[in-house]
Amino acid sequence: MTNLTIKNMPEGLYQTLKQRALNNRRSLNSEVLVCLEQVLQDRHPDTQVALTRIRELRQKTVSHPLTDEILQQAKLDGRR
């Protein structure tokens, strides 16, 4: 893996990143990577790749259907 050093970072930006990392329960390094990935990721993903992935995920859950009743009961159970 490659390392990167950031010099002359404004204090306000550093504090914002630090707070975001804390809020997201990530290290500062992980938060910076997530921010960079969000900004630099391809805005136009391949539709066929996405659909294939969605279909694969759907097949994994086909035997575990969720109904409104199951979800409501889970909410109630979580509040007890």
| CA distances to 67, 68, 69, 72, 74 from 77, in Å | 15, 14, 12, 9, 5
pLDDT tens, the chain, 80 aa long: 899 999 999 999 999 999 999 999 999 999 999 999 999 987 777 899 999 999 999 999 888 888 999 999 999 998 77
Containing domain of residue 43, as a range?
1-63
Does residue 70 belong to any structural domain of this protein?
A: no
| pTM above threshold 0.85 | no
Total number of domains constituting the chain: 1
Helices (H), the chain: 11-23, 28-40, 47-61, 68-78
Name residue 75's amino acid: K
Residue 68 falls inside a structural domain: no
In the block, which residue shows the tokens 């659909």?
A: 51
